[in-house]
Structure 1
Amino acid sequence: MIDIHCHILNGIDDGPKTLEDSLQMAKQAVEQGFTDIIATPHHLKGQFSNPGDAVKRQVEHFNERLAKENIALTVHPGQEVRIHGEMLEGLANGSVLTLAGTKYILIEFPTESIPLFTQELFFNLQMKGYTPIIAHPERNLEVMRHLDPLYELVEAGALAQLTFGSFEGRVSKKVKKLSEQLIDTNLVHFIATDAHLYKGRSMDVQQAVRKLQKEKGENRADYMFQNAKLVLNDQVIETLEPVELKKKFFLF
């Protein structure tokens, strides 16, 4: 498997504090069946600023350590970029990274809302050849209230990434229910760990994988796993037609 959203790099955001913690995560990832991870430290979220060059250097050093430890895992550079109006400028000067040097970019919304400029920004990104991937929309309060804004973004060409823990019910029953709805309405295209440590928010996903295969079918699970591979290889993802629901989902 390939993980497109993971905070495996130590000491730079709210992920692992030490290199040993990162190595523990890497070992756990291999045990769970991961071969590749795209490291996505927070960028421009609160106190966390991890410009592209710094992330690339740390990924290079971490891969060297993985080789020395004989850990069969490859880590690729990326970011979980907090949405902001100057994203195109950041991509141009290298401070903002795409996922593993591809056309795909992982974008995080504020927890409370989807900013009003999102549609325009996504359109401009797409016009420049980039494909926005929305990080964990199931944890966004505006999406929790109603699916229309997410539907409109996906219908216009954006993609979205669900988190294993949300689907498994580790966040809350409401987030679990919404995660299932997002799969059923074709509004999410990937499932990723968003792991921050080797305990708690970890790489331990096999139970969630089995749950996904059993409840949503092996074809849907394979589709989401295969899409992660397509991202890593910078290939086109064939999306399923999103389903527009007129009913509002007031989860509070």
Structure 2
Amino acid sequence: MIDIHCHILHGVDDGPKTRTDSLAMAQAAVNEGIHTIIASPHHQNGIYINSRLDIEAKVMEFNRLMQEENIPLTVLVGQETRLHRDMIKELQMGVITPLNNTKYVFIEFPSGEVPRYAEQMLFEIQVAGYTPIIVHPERNRQIAENPSILYNLVQKGSLTQLTAASIVGKFGKAIQKLSYQLIESNLTHFIASDAHNTTSRGFRLKEAYEKICKRYGDETFYMYMENARLLINGEDVYCYEPQNVKKQRKIFGVF
């Protein structure tokens, strides 16, 4: 398996604190059947700043460390960037890094809202030649209350990524239900762990894929698996015509 969203680098954000913690995550990933991970430390979320050059250096160092420890895992360069008004400038300056140096760029919204300028900024990112991927939209309170917001953004070219833990119910039944609705409405294109550690925020990617396969069949299962591969190779991914979903009455859970 390929995990396109993971906080595996130590000492850079709210992921692992020590090298030992990072190595424990790497071994846990291998035990789960993951062979490739995109490291995606937080950037510009009001707390953490992780620029492209810093991430590249840490990824190179961590891959060397895993070789020394005989852990058969490859870590690629990525970044989880909070949407902000200087994104185009930071992309042009090389501060923001696309995923594995492809056209794909992670976009994170604040947990409680979708910024009013989001639609325009996502459009400008696409004009600049990149494809924005909105991470964990199922855990955004405003999208949960009004999924048509996400439908509008996907219809205009943005992609999305669900969290494995959401699919298996780790964040509660309401978020799990919304995750299923987004899948059924063709409003998501990737499944990833967003793992931060080996305990409270573990991988759960294998479990999520098993649930998807059981609930939706082989075609949907393989589409998400293949999209992860296509992404790291910089190729176009599978997208189906998005549909709107019914408004959620009430959403509870961790955001």
Aligned length: 251
Which residue of structure 1 aligns with residue 76 of structure 2? 76
Match of 1:232 in 2: 232
How far residue 233 of structure 1 moved from its aligned partner, in angstroms, is 0.2
Q: Alpha carbon RMSD of aligned pairs, Å?
A: 1.0
- Mind listing any 5+ residue stretches in structure 1 that lack a counterpart? none
Residues 6, 39 of structure 2: 8 Å contact kept: yes
The 2-side partners of 1:120 and 1:146 are apart by 19
Distance 2:21 2:78 in 1: 19
1:101 maps to what in 2?
A: 101
Using the TM superposition, give the Cα deviation of residue 207 of structure 1 relative to its aligned residue in structure 2, in angstroms.
Answer: 2.4
- Contact 1:146–1:250 (8 Å) recurs in 2: no
Contact 1:106-1:134 at 8 Å conserved across structures: yes
Opposite residue 51 of structure 2, the aligned amino acid is: P
Q: Which residue of 2 aligns with 1:172?
A: 172
Superimposed CA distance per residue, residues 224-252 of structure 1 (whole angstroms, 9 cap, x where no aligned partner): 1111111100001131110124x422224
Which position in structure 1 is the counterpart of 2:248?
A: 249
Shift of 1:211: 1.3
Note the C-alpha offset of 1:208: 2.3
**1:163 and 2:163 matched:** yes
Q: Retained in 2: the 8 A contact 1:187–1:242? A: yes
Shift of 1:206: 2.5
2 CA distance for matches of 1:5 and 1:205? 11
The one-letter code matched in structure 1 to 2:223 is Y
How many angstroms apart in 1 are the aligned matches of 2:206 and 2:154?
A: 28
Query: d(CA) in 2 for partners of 1:225 and 1:174?
Result: 25
Deviates more, 1:109-118 or 1:195-204: 195-204
- Name the counterpart of 1:5: 5
Counterpart residue number, 2:187: 187
Q: Is the 8 A contact 2:80 2:106 kept in 1?
A: yes
Partner of 2:53: 53
**What TM-score does the superposition give when structure 1 sets the normalisation length?**
0.97
Residues 33-48 of structure 1 aligned to structure 2 (within 5 Å): 33-48=33-48
- Residue 127 of structure 1 and its aligned partner are, at CA, apart by 0.9
* Ranges of 4+ aligned residues in structure 1 off by more than 6 Å: none
TM-score of the aligned structures, taking structure 2 as reference length: 0.96
How far apart, in 1, do the equivalents of 2:173 and 2:91 lie?
Answer: 37
Identity %: 44
